[in-house]
């Protein structure tokens, strides 16, 4: 169906069209010229009248024109971003000819482009065509960005569930507790725990906030911690261990070893400072330290959505958990690739509220290991998905390494500008569409798809805690309970 014609100057990247009737952003078009059959996307639409232009200032004139003829001549122009030559399976290299007819792309033509992936994420807006994405492309990482209430949680749930259905393994760090109480299936909920036996000495020192400019304190701690780990591992091998007592005595056992360091000539001030930091560590992290807990590597499952519910924790403790688990997963995948030991299957990790852990301004434990995964994870089968409603709060180096992006509705101009500047494969004309997207509608770019896709994400079929509450319904329910309880009290 012809919707218009090319007018004016055009380039191999875009063309202006004069449309026969109203058109909407995100529609896919076909322009055929010079042996090319080019698929494009409408990225801008304007409407005007040759009789009433932007310089008209006489309102009486407009009123008279309306009385004379209610159908004042008007025009509709659109900008088409030229994306792909279907005949050559490549980018177009010739501009279209003025006067070339422009038609809507047919489902068969769109299916050729969007059916090459492994799992369906949703359907193209304006066409009954499923968009399939390439799961292997997640090794080059993904950012899911949107304003609050635009459908981020639903997108994560749909993507995670369908990866699990492909026998994959996803690990979600559940900031709000919405996935651990969802209908994701199979769902493997993992308790957030730190087992000191799986921490490195440097990692433990970081949790104790022993800085790089305190080498004596670090040396004291490293010796004590390594000695403690060796002693506990030997007891476990011998089967002579009481885990409950071990957890209770974790700090005091370490302090005893640290006290013995005084005999080696270490200054008492340094020893006392390490012990103070150890006790502060225990106060902050006592709820998650557990020498009986399994390594995260042992807890992960394939064909599952693995979820670590960090919602009950404060942000420092969340940071410690996420950082440690990312480090263990990356190290274990490296070990498997190099030696055949470690974690045998790839894992896609999902960091919700990523602006908290990967802040543009604040250094966190998680930011270090997320950066490592962003740089190295592709080679070892560790994918990183970051999810945020505050793109401008994200570390730009990490965001720029997210080759793939699923961007739902974003209204804030500074957020749109920040995303554009951090994305090599995102153009300004596509960014301008983000404000017009509805709930659950998204722009997908990167290796996930052959060309940019504007689609409606499928609705997750089940319970998910991220939806808006029905406030009136909850008020009415609370009022009913109050009335019942008051009735019982009056009766009594």
Q: 196-212: per-residue pLDDT in tens? A: 999 999 999 999 999 87
- Angle made by CA atoms 421, 425, 427, in degrees to the nearest 5: 65
- Convert the pLDDT of each residue in 345-357 to its tens digit: 999 999 999 999 9
Give the 3-state secondary structure of residue 400: helix
**Taking the domains of the chain in order of start, what are their residue ranges?**
2-105, 130-193+293-457, 196-285
Residues ≥6 apart with Cβ < 8 Å to 26:
41, 42, 125, 126, 433, 454
Q: What is the mean pLDDT of the chain?
A: 91
137-159 pLDDT, tens digit each: 999 999 999 999 999 999 999 99
C-alpha 423/C-alpha 391 separation (Å) is 12
What is the b/e burial string over 252-283, where b = at least 16 CB atoms within 10 angstroms of the residue's CB?
Answer: ebbbebbeebeeeebeeebbebbbebbeebee
Give the C-alpha separation, 218 to 213, whole Å: 9
Overall fold of domain 130-193+293-457: Rossmann fold (3.40.50)
Q: Where does 267-346 show beta strands of DSSP type E?
A: 304-309
Half-sphere CA count of 344, side-chain side, radius 13 A: 5
How many C-alpha atoms does 289 have within 13 Å on its Cβ side?
A: 20
More confident residue, 470 or 14: 14
State mean pLDDT over 245-270.
82
What pLDDT is stored for residue 185 in this prediction? 95
> Model-level pTM?
0.89
Q: Three-class SS of residue 405?
A: strand
Beta carbons of 408 and 358 less than 8 angstroms apart: no
Q: Residue 25 — very low, low, confident or very high, per pLDDT cuts 50/70/90?
A: confident
Residue 335 pLDDT exceeds 90: yes
Q: What is the mean pLDDT of residues 276-297?
A: 92
What distance in Å separates the CA atoms of residue 394 and residue 356, rounded to the nearest whole number? Answer: 8
């Amino acid at each position: 169906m012809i919707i218009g014609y090319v007018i004016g100057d055009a380039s191999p990247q875009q063309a202006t069209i004069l449309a026969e009737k109203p058109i909407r952003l995100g529609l896919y078009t076909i322009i055929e010229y010079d042996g090319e059959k080019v698929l494009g996307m409408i990225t801008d639409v304007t409407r005007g009248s040759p009789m009433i232009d932007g310089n008209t200032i006489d309102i009486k004139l407009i009123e008279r024109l309306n009385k004379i003829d209610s159908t004042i001549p008007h025009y509709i122009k659109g900008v088409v971003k030229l994306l792909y030559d279907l005949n050559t399976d490549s980018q177009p290299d010739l501009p279209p000819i003025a006067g070339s007819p422009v038609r809507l792309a047919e489902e068969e033509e769109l299916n050729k482009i969007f059916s090459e992936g492994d799992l369906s994420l949703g359907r193209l807006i304006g066409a009954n065509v499923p968009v399939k994405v390439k799961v292997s492309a997640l090794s080059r990482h993904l950012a899911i960005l949107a304003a609050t209430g635009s459908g981020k949680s639903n997108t994560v749930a749909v993507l995670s569930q369908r990866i699990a259905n492909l026998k994959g393994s996803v690990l979600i760090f559940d900031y709000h507790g919405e996935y651990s109480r969802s209908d994701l299936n199979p769902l493997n909920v993992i308790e957030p725990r730190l087992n000191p036996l799986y921490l490195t000495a440097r990692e433990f020192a970081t949790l104790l906030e022993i800085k790089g400019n305190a080498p004596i304190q670090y040396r004291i701690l490293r010796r004590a911690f390594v000695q403690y780990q060796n002693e506990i591992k030997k007891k476990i091998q011998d089967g002579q261990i009481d885990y409950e007592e071990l957890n209770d005595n974790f700090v005091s056992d370490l302090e005893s070893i640290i006290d013995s360091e005084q005999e080696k000539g270490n200054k008492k001030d340094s020893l006392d400072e390490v012990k103070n930091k150890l006790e502060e560590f225990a106060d902050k992290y006592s709820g998650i330290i557990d020498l009986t807990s399994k390594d995260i590597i042992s807890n992960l499952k394939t064909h599952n959505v693995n979820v670590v519910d960090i919602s009950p924790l404060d942000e420092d403790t969340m940071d410690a958990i996420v950082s440690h688990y990312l480090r263990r997963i990356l190290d274990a995948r490296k070990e498997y690739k190099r030696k055949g030991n470690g974690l045998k299957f790839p894992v896609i990790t999902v960091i919700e509220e990523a602006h908290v852990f990967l802040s543009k301004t604040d250094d966190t434990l998680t930011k270090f290991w997320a950066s490592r995964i962003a740089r190295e994870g592709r080679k070892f089968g560790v994918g990183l998905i970051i999810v945020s409603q505050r793109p401008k709060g994200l570390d730009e180096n990490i965001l720029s390494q997210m080759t793939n992006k699923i961007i739902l509705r974003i209204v804030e101009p500074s957020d749109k500008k920040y995303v554009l500047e951090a994305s090599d494969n995102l153009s300004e004309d596509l960014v301008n569409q983000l404000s017009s997207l509805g709930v659950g509608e998204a722009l997908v770019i990167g290796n996930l798809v052959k060309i940019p896709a504007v689609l409606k994400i499928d609705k997750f079929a089940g319970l998910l805690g991220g939806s808006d509450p029905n406030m009136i319904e909850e008020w009415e329910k609370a009022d009913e309970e109050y009335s019942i309880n008051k009735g019982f009290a009056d009766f009594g």
